[in-house]
Each structure stands twice: as C-alpha cells, then as structure tokens.
C-alpha cells in the first residue's frame, strides 16, 4: 500500500450544526452587506463629525488660531480629493461589478449553473461591493460638513477626521479591488473551481458521524406513525439533528428521516417515520427541516460529486470539447471516493447523551456515489481516449483502496467502459491505446 493511502487518518467526529435559514438567505443575497456597510459608515461619520467639532472648539478655546488655520487649509485641499472620489466612485463600482456579471455568465456556460453559488456567496465580492458603496456615501456626507467660512475665529467645522477617514476608505477600496480581481480571476479558472468543490465535499464528509463501535444502524422495529411534510415544496437542505434527537428522546421514540438531503420534497409526502410510539406533536418538529430552492453543501454528501460530474459532462459536450477539464474533474471524483471508501454509508445514526439511537438519517450508499461520479462521464467519454485512460486509472486506484465488499460497482464500471470503447474504437490499436490506464489521461 502506498504512503498516501496509509497517511489518511480518521476524520473528526462532530455533529453538524443546524443550517440557519436567515444566515443562508443573507449569504445568498447582495443587499445585506452593502446596507449594513452604509448604515455603519453613517454612524462612523456622526462620530467623526463630533470629533471634528470638539477639536475646533478646543483650539478656539485655547486661542490656537494658527493651528486651526493650517487645519482649514488642509481640509480645503482634502476637499478636492473627496470631491474627485465621490464623482468617480459610482462609475468605478459599475465597471468593477460588470466583471462579476461576465464571470458568472462564463462560469454558468462553461462549467455548470451549480457553481454560480461560488460567485454569489463570495465574501470578498460582497465586502468589495459594501466598501465601495460605503466610501461613496461617506464622500457625500463629508462634503456636507465643509464650512465656507475660512476665518479660524468663527469657523464651526473643520472636517479633518472625516477627510482622513475618507482617504483611509479609499485606500481600503483599492486594496479590496486588487483582492477582488485576484479572487474573480481564480474563480474563472476551472482548476480552482474544482478544488473549491472538492474542499467543500471533504468538509461535509468530516462532519458525518462515525459509530464509536464501528457498527451500523440498529434494528428499529415496525413503523408506528408517519410525519408528513406540510410546508412549501423544495429541496431538503438541512436537518436540525439536535432538535430531532431532543424531541425523539422526550417522546421515547426513534425517528427515521425518509428523504435524503438534496431530495425534492412535495407537500403531503412522508418525511419522518416514527418507531416505537406515537408521532411527536407538530409544534415540536417546527424548524427541524430546512427547505430551499436549490441544494447546498451543508450535510449533502453527494452534491460535490454532482457538480464535478456536471463539469465533466459539459467539458465532453460537442459544443465545448474539452477532455482535459473532464480529466481534472475525474481527479477530484477519485479523491472524494477514496476519502469515503472505508466510511460507513447508506445511513447514519444520531444518539442522545445516553448513547441511545434517536435519529436515523439516510445518506447515499457506496454504489450510488460511484455511479454518480462515473456513470454519465463514462457514457460520454468513449470517443475521448484521454478521459477513458484517466477513468481506468482512477478505477484501478480505487480497487486497491476499497474493501472487498465495495469492489463490485468499480468492477462493473470498468467492464462497461471496456465494452463501450471496444464498440466505438475503429481499430485494435485505438482500443489498446484508449484502454491503457494513465493518471494524466494522455499527458
């Protein structure tokens, strides 16, 4: 066994936290961060205005009119800069964020619409947008603080602190602009997008509970009641594990989740099976399930493989014809499956403080994950020897990793790939070349 196979240690055992609908809504929108930044900069401006007024009063009380005159001249010079910043900032914002729209459109067309969420939820993009708008608002507020009276004895306001604050905001805007461009360019490169998807998948796998005794889900007995979904239709994005465990313990039952994370819920269909007693009251299960319009990585073990498979399919389409991108997607598919190769799948159990199983949650099985990662790409790769060679090498690597009981899906995909290549390759030499395992495809 190679060194990299040996060094994979156990993943941490943590209970996944609940997905806050409000937090997810704020992360999927662009209005909250700019609004909070503009409100915050208004409060900061009020404080700076009071500091400027206190500074002027202090100098006038001390009779230091020379220093005050110097400050008036500095503020007058700074006014030119503030005016230029205010007039140019909105144009700058429009030009900069047109880059985001182009990047989102390119990512959706070149990769898959599922990766648009990476751009929408980008913290640096929201921070840049928020700081730009806050700088624009601050320049408008500072311009209202300038006093046309140039006499230091009667001047009421010298926006010194406000001008310095504006210059600092401009410097911060320039710094964030550089970071924003760098981040956007990285997200437009398929290798970085694929790496981000893989990293999210590893994070989800790390949060999956692992039985302390290594056993599976215990026998639950017959179903004694059902709980149906009475909310809006949508994708099941999250299960509040702690709440369901607490409710099941309080009523002395075991709850079994019927749909998997990522399934579409239709109102009126069963979502929870109750074992060992009556169904808990509806109010106790309120907010236990989170339903949205699209899948997220939170608790969704298969979503990363879904996105990688979509990227591979898009790359192999005749309109794109980019087998190298499909090979890069397969690299990460193999890595994710290798991480999950010896972990318990099909279902996970959540226990209460006494160690009693209270919630059983279905997760994709090993065969389902293998099919998700390989089936569609394999069906479209028969005419791309670079992809077939990488696919065979990945299957061979996984066959060396997985326990004997998990070899069957991999052997099935390898046999189907060989059959498809033998049917499509025109000559024996082409078939031999396409069926030679190579981790780089062709190189």
In this prediction, residue 151 carries a pLDDT of 65
Residues 6+ apart with CB under 8 A from 234: 264, 265, 291, 292, 293
pLDDT at 13: 45
Secondary structure of 237-284 as H, E, C letters: EEECHHHHHHHHHHHCCEEEECCCCCCEECCCCEEEEEECCCCCCHHH
Question: Residue 371: its pLDDT value, please?
Answer: 95
What pLDDT sits at residue 155? 66
pLDDT at 6: 31
Q: In what order do the strands lie in the sheet with 234-239?
A: 264-265, 234-239, 289-292
Strand, coil or helix: 361? strand
The Cα–Cα gap between 372 and 194 comes to 16
- Asked if residues 72 and 156 have their Cβ atoms less than 8 Å apart, the reply is no
CA pair distance 70, 177, nearest whole angstrom: 33
The H or E element spanning position 191 is helix 190-206
Chunked mean pLDDT (size 10), the chain, 443 residues:
35 50 68 88 90 79 74 76 80 77 72 74 84 90 75 70 87 89 81 89 81 62 88 87 89 91 91 89 85 84 91 87 91 94 86 87 92 93 91 94 93 93 88 90 80
From 121, 124, 130, select the one nearest 93 (Cα to Cα).
130
Tell me if 98 sits within 8 A of 48, measured CB to CB: no
CA–CA distance, 215 with 305 (Å, rounded to integer): 26
**Would you state the pLDDT for residue 211?**
58
DSSP-based three-state secondary structure for 426: coil
Q: What is the pLDDT of residue 23?
A: 67
Dist CA 414 CA 280 (whole Å): 48
CA distance 67 to 71: 6
The string over 104-136, giving b where at least 16 C-beta atoms fall within 10 Å of a residue's C-beta and e elsewhere, is beebeebbbebbbbbbeebeebbbbbbbbbbbb
Provide the pairing of β-strand 234-239 with 264-265: antiparallel
Would you state the pLDDT for residue 206? Answer: 84
């Amino acid at each position: 066994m190679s060194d990299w196979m040996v060094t994979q240690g156990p993943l941490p055992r943590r209970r996944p936290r609940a997905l806050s609908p409000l937090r997810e809504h704020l992360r999927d929108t662009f209005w909250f961060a700019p609004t909070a930044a503009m409100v915050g900069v208004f409060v900061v401006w009020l404080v700076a205005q009071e500091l400027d007024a206190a500074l002027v009063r202090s100098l006038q009380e001390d009779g230091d009119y020379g220093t005050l005159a110097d400050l008036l001249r500095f503020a007058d010079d700074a006014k030119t800069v503030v005016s230029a910043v205010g007039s140019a900032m909105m144009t700058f914002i429009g030009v900069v964020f047109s880059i985001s729209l182009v990047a989102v459109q390119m990512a959706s067309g070149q990769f898959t619409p599922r990766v648009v969420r990476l751009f929408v939820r980008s913290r640096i993009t929201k921070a840049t947008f928020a700081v730009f708008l806050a700088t624009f608002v601050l320049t408008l507020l500072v311009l209202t603080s300038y006093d046309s009276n140039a006499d230091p004895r009667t001047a009421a306001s010298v926006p010194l602190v406000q001008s310095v604050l504006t210059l600092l905001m401009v410097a911060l805007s320039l710094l964030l602009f550089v970071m924003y461009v760098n981040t956007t360019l990285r997200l437009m490169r398929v290798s970085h997008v694929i790496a981000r998807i893989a990293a999210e998948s590893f994070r989800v796998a790390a949060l999956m509970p692992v039985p302390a005794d290594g056993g599976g889900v215990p026998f639950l007995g017959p179903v004694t009641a059902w709980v149906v979904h009475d909310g809006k239709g949508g994708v099941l994005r999250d299960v509040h594990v702690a709440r369901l465990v607490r409710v099941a313990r309080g009523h002395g039952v075991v709850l079994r989740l019927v749909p998997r994370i990522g399934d579409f819920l239709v109102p009126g269909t069963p979502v929870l099976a109750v074992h060992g007693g009556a169904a808990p009251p509806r109010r106790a299960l309120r907010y236990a399930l989170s339903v949205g319009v699209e899948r997220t990585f939170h608790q969704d073990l298969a979503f990363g493989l879904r996105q990688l498979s979509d990227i591979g399919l898009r790359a192999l389409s005749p309109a794109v014809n980019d087998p190298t991108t499909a090979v890069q997607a397969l690299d990460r598919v193999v890595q994710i499956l290798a991480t999950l190769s010896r972990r318990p799948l099909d279902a996970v159990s959540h226990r209460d403080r006494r160690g009693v199983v209270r919630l059983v949650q279905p997760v994709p099985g090993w065969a389902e994950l293998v099919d998700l990662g390989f089936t569609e790409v394999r069906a479209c790769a028969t005419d791309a020897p670079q992809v077939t060679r990488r696919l065979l090498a990945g299957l061979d690597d996984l066959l060396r990793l997985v326990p004997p009981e998990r070899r069957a899906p991999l052997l099935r995909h390898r046999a189907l790939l060989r059959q498809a290549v033998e049917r499509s390759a025109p000559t024996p030499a082409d078939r031999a070349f396409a069926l030679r395992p190579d981790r780089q495809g062709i190189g």
